[in-house]
């Protein structure tokens, strides 16, 4: 298994695809997606723009849909909820399709949606993602961070490092595909005992703290907390 890390969708190659892409948006899209499915959501459909989300979700029975929208960390007007994983409780999301658009995570998902296999990873479901890769043994794996508006995000690359670290601990058949994997591993080794503090120092973590999302940060920092793996069934639908 040859593993590559790409810090952002913009740094991800456009002329070829991997056997398996792991999309990572620790704060908070892929944490929210994992939490919603774990809480009994029927499915999640991701959109990069709000207008398309509204049009497509309109064709879905109102009692079976939830619209989640986030821009700049804040909930989008007209949606049922923002992008907080803490809102994804069984009574709210159970049996429903979550139609979601976020600033960066849903864009990252679209960037690699044509790959033969696409899953989402976050700290809370890190081991579930690793177990899937160990079982499927794809020849090439891309760990794709969502970043923030084209820039690098500390927490996504740290999570990529957490996935690479666990893969390396479980098998010696891991080839390091690019230098970014080595950087991601070093980051994870630096922060692994204090992931919440890593969030506190990161630019998006600070942005969310300014929006009073302290509890979200605590939740998102719990490594291997849920045994759930969002797997793409068709482009952008998990
Ligand atoms: O950028 C994104 O996709 C979001 O996850 C950002 S936020 O954590 O909801 O602010």
Q: Are 145 and 8 in contact (CB under 8 A)?
A: yes
What domain range is 70 assigned to? Answer: 2-235
Q: Are 85 and 228 in contact (CB under 8 A)?
A: no
> Which residues lie below 8 Å from residue 100, measured CB to CB, with a gap of 6+?
29, 32, 33, 44, 45, 46, 47, 53, 67, 68, 69, 83, 106
Q: Are 97 and 42 in contact (CB under 8 A)?
A: yes
Averaged confidence pLDDT in the chain? 96
238 burial level (CB within 10 Å; 0-12, 13-18, 19+): buried
Residue whose entry in the numeric block shows the structure tokens 């300014």: 210
CATH number assigned to the domain comprising residue 105: 3.90.1560.10
What would you measure as the largest C-alpha separation in the chain, in angstroms? Answer: 49
156 falls in which pLDDT band (50, 70, 90)?
A: very high
Tokens of 71: 């821009």
On the question of pLDDT at 72 being above 90, the answer is: no
- The total domain count for the chain is 1
Sign of CA dihedral 70, 157, 149, 197: positive
What's the pLDDT tens digit per position in 7-49? Answer: 999 999 999 999 999 999 999 999 999 999 999 999 999 998 9
Which mutation among 146, 148, 206, 207 tests ligand 1's pocket best, with the greatest number of atoms within 8 A of CB?
146
On the question of pLDDT at 211 being above 90, the answer is: yes
On the question of pLDDT at 107 being above 90, the answer is: no
- From the CB of 70, is ligand 1 less than 6 Å away? yes
Atom of ligand 1 nearest to the CA of 70: 9
Ligand 1 center to residue 206 CA distance, Å?
Answer: 12
Which mutation among 7, 105, 220 tests ligand 1's pocket best, with the greatest number of atoms within 8 A of CB?
105
Question: How many DSSP H helices and E strands does the chain contain?
Answer: 10, 9
pTM of the model as a whole: 0.95
Atom of ligand 1 nearest to the CA of 106: 3
Of 129, 132, 123, the closest CA to residue 202 belongs to 123
Which mutation among 103, 211, 212 tests ligand 1's pocket best, with the greatest number of atoms within 8 A of CB?
103
The arithmetic mean of pLDDT across residues 187-214, rounded, is 97
On the question of pLDDT at 106 being above 90, the answer is: no
The arithmetic mean of pLDDT across residues 120-141, rounded, is 98
Residues of the chain above pLDDT 90, percent: 94
């Amino acid at each position: 298994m040859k593993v590559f890390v790409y810090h952002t969708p913009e740094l991800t190659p456009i002329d070829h695809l991997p056997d398996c892409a792991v999309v990572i948006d620790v704060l908070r899209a892929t944490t929210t997606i994992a939490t919603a499915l774990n809480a009994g959501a029927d499915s999640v459909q991701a959109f990069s723009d709000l207008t398309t989300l509204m049009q497509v979700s309109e064709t879905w029975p109102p009692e079976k849909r939830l619209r989640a929208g986030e821009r700049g960390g804040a909930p989008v007007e007209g949606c049922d909820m923002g992008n907080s994983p803490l809102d994804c409780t069984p009574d709210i999301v159970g049996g429903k399709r979550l139609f979601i658009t976020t600033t960066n995570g849903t864009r990252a998902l679209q960037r690699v949606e044509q790959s033969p296999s696409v899953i989402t990873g976050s700290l809370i479901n890190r081991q579930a993602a690793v177990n899937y890769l160990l079982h499927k043994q794809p020849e090439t794996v891309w760990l794709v961070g969502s970043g923030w508006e084209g820039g690098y995000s500390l927490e996504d690359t740290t999570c990529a490092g957490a996935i690479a670290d666990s893969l390396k601990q479980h098998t010696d058949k891991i080839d390091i595909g690019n230098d970014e994997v080595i950087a991601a591993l070093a980051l994870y080794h630096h922060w692994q005992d204090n992931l919440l503090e890593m969030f506190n120092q990161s630019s998006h973590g600070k942005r969310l703290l300014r929006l009073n999302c302290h509890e979200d940060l605590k939740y998102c920092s719990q490594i291997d907390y849920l045994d759930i793996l969002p797997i793409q069934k068709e482009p952008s639908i998990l």
